[in-house]
Amino acid sequence: MHSPEPRRKPPVRDAHGLRPPAGLCAALFAAQLPDQPSDGPGLIEILIVAGLIVLAVRFFQSRPGKPGERDRRDAPGDQPPQRRFTLSDDPWDRLRSKPKQQDQPESPEQSAASRPESGAPDPVRTALPGEAATAAGQEPVDDEFLRGAKMFYSRITASLAEGDFDDLAEFCAPPVLQRLRSAPRESVEIIRLTASLVEQKQTGERIAATVAYRSLERRGYDPKPRERQAAWVFGKPAGDPAATWLLDAIIE
């Protein structure tokens, strides 16, 4: 009669039903025997190493893109260049009593003033009187001045159409303001606007600059846009960089 075989214990499994690796079980078992000499790592060292591995894996998984891309994106050379010229830094900005908000869309007059004429060279860059003016000791008139002159034209035209003479009084000399008060009021849509410097001179203590405008405008109830030409004379005290340009005369 044979003696019954001893019953084998079921294998140890974790919560997911998986059998732990034999090496890990042996290491954990050895760590629980303080009296048994062992040269291997203890339980605390194993837990520390495992925690460091988990943290390293999570760190690399959370980083977007390849290493080094974030540094390249943050490099100053990859950022869009800032505008060299802003109206807030130019004396022409003193003409604007109503600051323009960044989220406010451009008006048709401002859009037309900043849009170059199709198929033709930019007239703003054709005249170079700034060098001669600097040699004569006058204030140079350059591309920034002409950009301001185009915005000046759009602002005057819009204020005149609205009958805002308080706004016009900030930009116009008294004789010009009196002339504009008697001008007819009508809606104006500026489709195209170009400006070029005709003359710049200094008489006594005042600088005068004459700007020639050519525009394509739709006025009043006329559905057909028509070309217009005019010359405006701007003036300001000489030697005062904070002084404001005023419209001294209109020549049509």
pLDDT in tens, 218-244: 998 888 999 999 999 999 998 887 888
pLDDT for the residue 213: 96
pTM over 0.85: no
Query: Is the Cβ–Cβ distance between 151 and 92 less than 8 Å?
Result: yes
Q: Above pLDDT 70, what percent of the chain? A: 52
**Alpha helix (H) residue ranges in the chain:** 22-31, 43-62, 69-73, 108-114, 130-135, 143-162, 165-169, 174-181
With a cut of 80, say whether residue 105 has pLDDT above it.
no
CA distance 17 to 15: 6
Instruction: Give the residue, 163 or 137, on which the prediction is more confident.
Output: 163
Architecture of domain 87-251: Roll (3.10)
Residue 78 has phi, psi (to 5 degrees) of: -90, -10
Of 51-65, 96-110, 230-244, which range is least confident?
96-110
180 CB burial (10 A radius; 0-12, 13-18, 19+) = buried
The secondary element (H helix, E strand) that includes residue 100 is: none
Average pLDDT over residues 177-182: 93
228 CB burial (10 A radius; 0-12, 13-18, 19+) = middle
pLDDT grade for 90, boundaries at 50, 70 and 90? low
For the chain, the structural domain boundaries read: 87-251
With a cut of 50, say whether residue 43 has pLDDT above it.
yes
With a cut of 60, say whether residue 123 has pLDDT above it.
no
Query: Is the Cβ–Cβ distance between 172 and 152 less than 8 Å?
Result: no
pLDDT for the residue 61: 76
Query: Could you give the 3-state DSSP secondary structure of residue 218?
Result: strand
